[in-house]
Amino acid sequence: MRMRLFCLAILSLCLPASPILAAEYRSGGKLLLTDGISTVEGAGGGGIASWATIAGQETDAGIGGAAHATLVALPAFTLTALGASIGLRDRVELSYGRQRFDTRAAGAALGLGRGFTFGQDIVGAKLRLVGDAVYDQDRWLPQISVGIQYKRANQDTVVRAVGAAQSRGTDLYVAATKLLLAEGLVLNGTLRWTKANQLGLLGFGGDGRRGRSVQFEGSAAKLLSSRLVVGAEFRSKPDNLRFAREDHAFDLFAAWAIARHLTVTAAYADLGSIATVRRQRGPFLSLRTAF
Amino acid sequence: MILTLALSLALQTPPGEESVAPYARSDANAGATPFPDDRLWRTFGAAPGVARIVDRLVELNQNDPRIADIFKGQDLVRLRRVLKEQFCYILGGGCTYSGRDMKAAHHNMGLQTADMAALVENLQRAMRESGVPFAAQNQLLAKLAPMKRVVVTR
């Protein structure tokens, strides 16, 4: 219910501004790669950090969208993420993401059964408050957005058995993104208020810490051409569950716009220890289409 | 009397250009502060390089279905001249900018964000074809980007 009210509030903020301007509807119009890619949670951003950018290639005069498929192949686990998002007038983003986390052989060792799969659905909304990350090159003010993600893990019994307090949770975040064009740099910093264990796949809150904590997501990238960006990301995560230590996540990535509507991202991600299985690092591959 | 006025106006208007309503001339009209030295100007190939880039930019815009209509009926002879002056001034080439300010120059064009983005893409292409390194391209674009606030009106 609270979630629904929030969405309505966001929409009502967006709508009154539009008809008065009577701007001619226009699809597309964002510069290549300036809408970023999609995170494993479905929001517009980097691969693991949500940014202040709004998904889709639309400008303030249109509606855009994006869809993505991401695979993270870890030594013991496989994470797949599918998602879609809509961008309204480069102001509001609505997103849906679905994650599957296959425990493969490790599932047996964990007592869950071979190939036991955790999953979650994530519904998100983001509102751009101020700033223009791309065009405001004479100001320090970044583009700043606030967002919400409602997450529902699908293995209620198991996540409670490992110590999670709930199988549903809501993340709130504020993100600041800035393109420093003269230097060819993209910088992002995000503060997330969350109680999600392993993004929410292992539920929310736990026997270690029950409530939310503030976590940080950072991205720094260098533009190599108008089509190619390389960079690094960091994401801190809470450590709520007693049975297993949860580590922070890192990645090194290259995003290549192979066509106007298609971006391929290849990364190497280090997700640390997951459910007592240490050193989970491996390739991250994401395909994203946007219009 | 009318004849002298017409004559003086004609004298002020460079050959091949249509006359424009009088305005105060100032380098500030260029809408950006110039780079402190001429390094970037030389990277762009100085006057011949910038001339080639501007001519190509105008040509690309005229043939770009997204924004070609905006350039129909515009004085392209004047546009090429003032764009070359503006780029020269900003890049540290030591030129004087004689054009109107960005607000007046784009007045009543009804430009949208997508129009500006299309022009940026065409400028990127013109610079790339002219062999301007990517980092140098971005330094010029960073000076032009904030003009969106006055150029885009709807």
Contact B113 A29 (CB under 8 A): yes
Predicted pLDDT of residue B9:
52
Residues B76 and B119: their CA atoms lie apart, in Å, by 15
Evaluate whether residue A6 is within a structural domain. yes
Evaluate whether residue A114 is within a structural domain. yes
pLDDT digits (tens, 9 = 90+) for B85-138: 999 999 999 999 999 999 999 998 999 999 999 999 999 999 999 999 999 999
Contact A32 B121 (CB under 8 A): yes
Residues of chain A with Cβ-Cβ distance to B145 below 8 Å are 134-138, 181
Phi and psi angles of residue A37, each rounded to the nearest 5 degrees, phi first:
-120, -155
Q: Please give the ipTM for the structure prediction.
A: 0.90
Evaluate whether residue A239 is within a structural domain. yes
- pLDDT band of residue B154 (cuts 50, 70, 90) is confident
Residues of chain B with Cβ-Cβ distance to A132 below 8 Å are 148
Evaluate whether residue A91 is within a structural domain. yes
CB-nearest partner of A225 from B113, B121, B134: B134
Phi and psi angles of residue A41, each rounded to the nearest 5 degrees, phi first:
-100, 0
Give the residue numbers spanning the domain of A235. Answer: 2-286
CB-nearest partner of A59 from B114, B134, B141: B114
Is B106 labelled as part of a ligand binding site? Answer: yes
Evaluate whether residue A55 is within a structural domain. yes
Residues of chain B with Cβ-Cβ distance to A229 below 8 Å are none
Could you tell me how far CA A189 lies from the centroid of its own chain?
13
Cα A105 to Cα A79, A113, A155, A273, B86: the distances in Å are 14, 8, 18, 16, 65
Given the DSSP bridges, would you call strands A44-45 and A37-38 parallel, antiparallel or unpaired? Answer: antiparallel
**Test mutation, B112, B113, B132, B150, chain A, max A CBs within 10 A:** B113
pLDDT digits (tens, 9 = 90+) for B20-73: 999 999 999 999 999 999 999 999 999 999 999 999 999 999 999 999 999 998
Please give the residue of chain B at the shortest CA–CA distance from A222: B135
In total, how many domains does chain A have? 1
Residues A188 and A44: their CA atoms lie apart, in Å, by 12
Evaluate whether residue A178 is within a structural domain. yes
Paired with A166 in beta bridges are: A204
Question: For A174-189, b where at least 16 C-beta lie within 10 A, e where not — what string?
Answer: bbbbbbbbbebbbbbb
Put simply, whether A239 touches B (Cβ < 8 Å) is no
Domains of chain B from N-terminus onward: 27-151 (1.10.490.10)
- Eight-class DSSP state of A241: -
CB-nearest partner of B145 from A62, A181, A226: A181
Predicted pLDDT of residue A16:
45
What is the block-wise mean pLDDT of chain A (291 residues), using blocks of 10 residues?
54 48 81 94 97 97 97 98 98 98 95 96 98 97 98 97 97 98 98 98 96 98 97 98 97 97 98 96 98 96
3-state secondary structure of B19: coil
Evaluate whether residue A291 is within a structural domain. no
* Biggest alpha carbon–alpha carbon distance for chain B: 54
Cα B11 to Cα B4, B7, B131: the distances in Å are 10, 6, 38
Evaluate whether residue A120 is within a structural domain. yes
Predicted pLDDT of residue B69:
96
C-beta of residue A183 within 8 angstroms of C-beta of residue A177? no
Contact A24 B154 (CB under 8 A): yes
| CATH classification at residue A73 | 2.40.160.40
C-beta of residue A264 within 8 angstroms of C-beta of residue A42? no
Q: DSSP string covering A184-205, please?
A: TEEEEEEEEEE-BSGGGTT-EE
Residues A155 and A117: their CA atoms lie apart, in Å, by 9
Tokens of B78: 């004047």
Min Cα separation A260/chain B (Å)? 12
Contact A29 B112 (CB under 8 A): yes
- Strands (E) located in A132-274: 143-153, 164-166, 168-180, 185-194, 204-206, 213-223, 228-235, 249-259, 262-270
C-beta of residue A139 within 8 angstroms of C-beta of residue A176? no
Put simply, whether A113 touches B (Cβ < 8 Å) is no
